[in-house]
Every structure is written in C-alpha cells, then in structure tokens.
Structure 1
Amino acid sequence: MTELQVILMKYDFWSRSLKLIYSDGSGAIYTSVPEFIHQNMQRCENKMAFVQKYLEYDLQFQKISLL
C-alpha cells in the first residue's frame, strides 16, 4: 500500500477554505483556514504530514470529506 499524498491544493481567500485532493481520489475541504496556514503548507515538503499535524487535530478547522 502506498502512502497517501496531497496531489492538489486550492485555497479560496474569500471563504478561507482549503480544498485538498489526495492520491487515492478522496478529498477534504477545511474551512476557516487562515491564509498563513496555506502559505506555510505550500512551502513544506511533506504536505500530508502538515495536514495531520496542523489541520486534522485542530478544533478550529471544520473538515468536510469528499469521496
């Protein structure tokens, strides 16, 4: 089994939402994401580790799963 990776990332400045598409075809939309989080994620090498560390376990971001 291959490791899950972020293959597409799109940030909407006006709604402060971050849309992520993963290598298995699934995706997620995180809401109320500050722009600096998106900018930091763009700079990091392992985007999946960033998602797990800063988005998945932070209660201020709401996650909407896309299948």
Structure 2
Amino acid sequence: MYPPTLAEHGMLGMTAHTAAKAAFQRNSDLYYQEVLDQFTSTSPAKRIGTPEDVANLIVYLGSEANIFVKQFV
C-alpha cells in the first residue's frame, strides 16, 4: 500500500521510482573470471550488466515515454 502522500502526488501526475541494481561489471580487472562465469551462467541474458544498462533504465523511468510502469525493483 502506498503512503497517502505518494498516492496524492500520483493523482497530480508526479511519479517516484527506485532502481536496485544487481551484478554489474565496471572494470573486468576487478573480478575473478570464476565469479564472472558464475554470474553470467545464472543470468537470463547470459552476461553481466553495464553502467549503460542502468543509465538507460533510469532515463526511461524518468521520461514521458514511461506512462505505465510505476513500481519495479
């Protein structure tokens, strides 16, 4: 259940979003190959996310193109 203030803001067209990242690779030198292999083998995409993946999500969530997705973590 949303707090009353968030519900009131939603009726005014205001939105709030939260993004929680999972396994993302910033620099391949920071990770052991075994760990990378484990993450990629269990990921549906079969790869580690990138900072650009997160940035694209944040841009979409904050854009006018996103008129439906309001809660997803």
Question: Same fold by TM (over 0.5)?
Answer: no
RCO comparison, higher one (Cα < 8 Å, 6+):
2
Greater fraction strand: 1
Question: TM-score by structure 1 length?
Answer: 0.28
**Rg comparison, structure with higher value:** 2
Greater fraction helix: 2
